């Protein structure tokens, strides 16, 4: 059973129901026909937030419309915040009320041009790289089977298609489809494992390299010599790959490279650095592929 105690003077005959999230405590106080929601937080958490933003207790009290002694009681844990006060406090710190109660301040990515991107999916995720190189081979064969015959699809286009398949899937499902490592180079994201995997596939007679030209530019293409084995793929994974191919496979190598340069995971890294999958949650249009408004709270 939930604990019960009084949050107003006893002569008000108040009963309380509360639950405790990670750092905050939500308390519903019922008096006659009126309902108050009082939120209390860890004193240490409130103090750390205030100090991180270089604000004094007097500053915050003034912003909240309270006296300094009253705010001091809040930071001591002896007085709660009304929802309106908590919302105002969250606003001061550039957070949502949910982030304030969960103890997950928003993280921001500042791009070299000064543009600030805020994480769209707050919460706790542990990003553990999971390279699925067997899937890499089958995805590559599937791409070649579906769009490899298009005149624009050479090695550079393959790099970008693999990148968007991998990073878009992570944004949608918070899981890795292939989990390859992509580094930043001047032409966009490049999968580190590509060379070794392709070399082994050529030796095993699974694909064949073909040298040619696309307009006036040299182009390296690959022909699939066997069909992909999709038995280890889910329906969501296959649909996702098809969606990326439909959206991007008609772009030229130059257009696709330029397009990839606008994606946040590529923009924030230095040349030669590996791209961080977690940065997909800071994407803006037209790169974001997830509808965050539909996510449950």
Segment 101-115 mean pLDDT: 66
Helical H segments across 119-274, by residue range: 133-147, 155-173, 194-203, 235-248, 253-260, 264-267
Which residue is listed with tokens 């419309």?
A: 65
- 10-106 is classed CATH 3.40.50.620: no
Average pLDDT score, the chain: 81
User: Domain map of the chain by residue range?
Assistant: 10-106, 133-294
Q: What is the pLDDT of residues 201-244, one digit of tens each?
A: 999 999 999 998 888 888 999 999 999 999 999 999 999 999 99
**Of 58-72, 120-134, 246-260, which one has max mean pLDDT?**
246-260
**293 SS3 class:** helix
Mean pLDDT of all residues in 64-78: 88
d(CA 297, CA 123): 10
Q: Is the pLDDT of residue 32 over 70?
A: no
């Amino acid at each position: 059973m939930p604990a019960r105690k009084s949050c107003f003077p006893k002569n008000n005959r108040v009963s309380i129901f509360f639950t405790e999230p990670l750092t905050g405590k939500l308390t519903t106080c019922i008096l006659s026909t009126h309902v108050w929601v009082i939120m209390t937080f860890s004193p240490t958490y409130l103090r750390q937030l205030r100090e991180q933003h270089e604000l004094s207790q007097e500053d915050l009290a003034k912003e909240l419309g309270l006296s300094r002694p009253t705010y001091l009681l809040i930071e001591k844990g002896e007085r709660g915040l009304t929802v309106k006060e908590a919302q105002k406090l969250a606003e001061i710190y550039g957070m949502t009320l949910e982030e304030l109660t969960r103890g997950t301040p928003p993280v921001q990515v500042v791009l070299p041009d000064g543009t600030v991107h805020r994480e769209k999916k707050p919460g706790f995720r542990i990003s553990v790289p999971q390279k699925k190189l067997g899937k890499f081979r089958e995805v590559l064969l599937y791409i070649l089977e579906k769009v490899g015959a298009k005149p624009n699809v050479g090695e550079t286009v393959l790099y970008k298609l693999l990148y968007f398949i991998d990073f878009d899937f992570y944004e949608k499902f918070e899981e890795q489809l292939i989990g390859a490592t992509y580094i930043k180079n001047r032409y966009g994201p490049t999968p580190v494992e590509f060379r070794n995997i392709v070399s082994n596939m050529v030796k095993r007679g699974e694909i064949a390299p073909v040298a040619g030209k696309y307009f006036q530019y040299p182009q390296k293409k690959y022909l699939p010599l066997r069909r992909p084995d999709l038995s280890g793929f889910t329906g969501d994974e296959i649909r996702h790959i098809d969606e990326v191919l439909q959206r991007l496979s008609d772009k030229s190598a130059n257009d696709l490279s330029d397009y990839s340069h606008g994606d946040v995971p590529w923009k924030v890294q230095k040349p030669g650095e590996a791209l961080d999958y977690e940065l997909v949650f800071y994407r803006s249009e037209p790169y974001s592929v997830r509808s965050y408004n539909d996510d449950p709270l």
